[in-house]
Structure 1
C-alpha cells in the first residue's frame, strides 16, 4: 500500500489516502508521497553537533528532500502536459513564495535559467489555474500563486531559498547550459539520488515529474548517458524500476617526487 495525495480541480481541497500503486497511477491529480517525508533525518541537538563535513552532507540532503517534495507536489498540481521549462519555473516560484502567495523573481535568475523573455511559460502556468501572470514588463518579475497548498509550507523561507539554489545546480547532475527537458530530468534524478552507489525510482514517478511519457523519459536518460552525466541506466520492466549509476570521480595523478638539492646521504 502507498500513501497518495489527491487534489480536486480547484486545488483548494487535498486528500491523503492509502491506495495501491495501480489505483494511484490511474487517478488524476494524484501523487505518491515518498517515504522520505516520514523517515527524514532529524537535526541533532547543539550539544552533540556533528563534524563540519557531515553538516554539509546533511544540509545538501535536506535541500534535496525539499526539492523532491516540491517536484512531487507539482506532479499532482500541474497538468501532465505542462512543459519542462514551465515546471522549472513553477518550482522556483513554489519555493520562493511567501505566506500570501506573492513571489518576486530577479531578472538575473530568469536569465541564468535561460528562461528570460519567455512569456508563454507564464501563460502556460496561468492557464493551468496555478498563478496569476505577471505584468508585461515588470522588474523584477512579480506573480501571485493561486494554489493554497503552497502557502502553508513547513520550512521557513530561508531554508527554501537554499533549496532553490540547489535546484539550479543539483549536484552531482548539474546541467546549467542544457535544454529545459534535459535539465529537469537531471534535477529529478538528483532529487532521487541516494548515498548508495546504485540509485533507483519508479519509471512512472520519473515520467510524471519530468512531464513526459516513459518512452520520452528513456530517451532523455539516454542523452544523459551520451553527455556522460550518467554512466548507465537500466529499466526493469517487471518491477517498472529505473536504476542509474553516476560516473566515478577521476582521481588526480600524483606528481612524481623529484629529489631536492639537499639530499640525505646514502647509508
Structure 2
C-alpha cells in the first residue's frame, strides 16, 4: 500500500496527509467508502486538521467528508485503491499495524518520524542488519535524501534505531534496531 500511495499521491503531499491516506486506503470497503472513528483521528493527531483532508480532496483522491458525522465518513475517488490485492481482513490488520509498526514502536511523534519508522518497519528483516535503497525510502516517505538522513538521526536520538549508515557505493540505507534483550537483562 505504501508503494501504491507513493505513486497515487502527488509528490508534494504532506506527511500527515500520506498517513491519513494510508489509513483510508487500508480501511476502505469494496465500494470505496471509509469510516474513521474519532478516536483514531485523535490518536493520529489529525482530528480537526481539515487542511490534510483538503490536500487529499484537491488531489482528487477522496471526497471531502462531513465532519459533523461520527465516525467521519468519506468515499475514495481513486478506483485503483480498490484493486489492491490484500483481503479486507488483511488490510484491517495492516491498518492497525501501521499505527503501531513493530518492531519500531514510537511514542507520540510528528508525522515525518512516524512515516519514516513505518517504512523502515515494513522493510525490517529477521537479520540483525536491515537495508533499503535510498531511492525507495525517499519515494515511499515523500522526503529528500537529506531529510531522510535527518529523520534517521532523530530516530537514533530517541532510541528507536541503534544506528544507521548510508552505503555510498550501493546507495543503500542500513540500520540496526536496539538490542532489547540486553537492555531488559541489565534492569
Matching of residue 132 in structure 1 with residue 91 in structure 2: no
Identify unmatched segments of 5+ residues in structure 1.
1-69, 256-267
- Unaligned 5+ segments in structure 2 are none
Q: Which has the higher helix share?
A: 2
Structure 1 match to 2:115: 184
Distance in 2 of aligned mates of 1:225 and 1:211: 20
Tell me if structure 2 keeps the 8 A contact 1:168–1:176: no
Provide the rounded CA distance (Å) in 2 between the counterparts of 1:108 and 1:165. 13
* TM-score of the aligned structures, taking structure 1 as reference length: 0.67
Deviations 1:91-127 (A, max 9, x none): 0000111111110000111111111111110000111
Q: Deviations over 1:171-193 (max 9, x none)?
A: 11121401111111100100010
Distance 2:107 2:29 in 1: 26
Match of 2:80 in 1: 149
Q: How does 1:215-230 map to 2 (within 5 A)?
A: 215-230=146-161
Structure of higher CA gyration radius: 1
Distance apart, 1:253 and its partner CA: 4.3
Counterpart CA distance in 2 for 1:197 and 1:246 is: 8
Q: What is the 5 A alignment of 1:71-220?
A: 71-220=2-151
Q: How far did residue 222 of structure 1 move? A: 0.4
Tell me the C-alpha RMSD between the 2 structures. Answer: 1.5
Would the alpha carbon gap of residues 253 and 93 (structure 1) be closer, same or farther in structure 2, given more than 3 Å must change? closer
2:162 aligned to 212, 225, 231, which one? 231
2:143 aligns to what SS in structure 1?
coil
Separation (CA, whole Å) in 2 of partners of 1:216 and 1:99: 36
Aligned length: 186
Where 1:250 maps in the other structure, the secondary structure is helix
1:63-78 matches, cutoff 5 A: 70-78=1-9
